[in-house]
Amino acid sequence: MNELRSIMVLDEDQDGALVGKFRSIVGRDPHVRLLAGRTSPVESGKQMLGFAVQFHIEDPGPGYGQYSVCTWSGWAKEKGPNQTIRTHWLLTISRLNEEDEWASMTTGCDTFEKVLDSPEEKHLSADREALEQLLAKSQSRSR
């Protein structure tokens, strides 16, 4: 879960492929979306990773298309109960007019904290109250 309470479930295979599901709490797409990416081998307790999610905006508004893509790139710290993933992200939104493309990208940072010991996809479709309970559980565990 990140600082804005968006949540993801990740699975890494032995070859470094990263797959999962992502649900943004702050974006305009409330649905669970597929995630895909890659990881590096662990070095000095850290692991590089990158992943992407395509979002579908059902009612985008004038001048905007229905899709956006966000990519995250960063570091995962050693696996364990307090694992964190620190990333920079690049969000590209669909602008229908070529002259508006200059304003189609936004960047930022996210820090994801491990909330559950084993991924449970049911939390991706949880309502806001259930996500708040999950966050409280995570915060009490890290104390």
Domains: count for the chain: 1
| pLDDT averaged per 10 residues in sequence order, the chain, 143 residues | 90 94 90 96 94 95 95 87 91 95 95 80 72 68 55
Token code pair at residue 98: 């070529």
Q: Is 113 within a domain?
A: yes
pLDDT of residue 79: 65
Q: Is 78 within a domain?
A: yes
Q: Is 88 within a domain?
A: yes
**Strand 33-39 to strand 46-56: parallel, antiparallel, or no bridges (unpaired)?**
antiparallel
* Core vs surface per residue 97-134: b (16+ CB within 10 A) or e: eeeeeeeeeeeeebebbbbeeebeeebbeeeeeebeeb
Q: Which domain holds residue 90?
A: 7-141
Q: Is 1 within a domain?
A: no
Indicate yes or no: pTM above 0.75. Answer: yes
Token code pair at residue 48: 């590089």
pLDDT tens string 102-139: 999 999 999 999 887 776 677 777 666 776 677 676 66
pLDDT of residue 85: 96
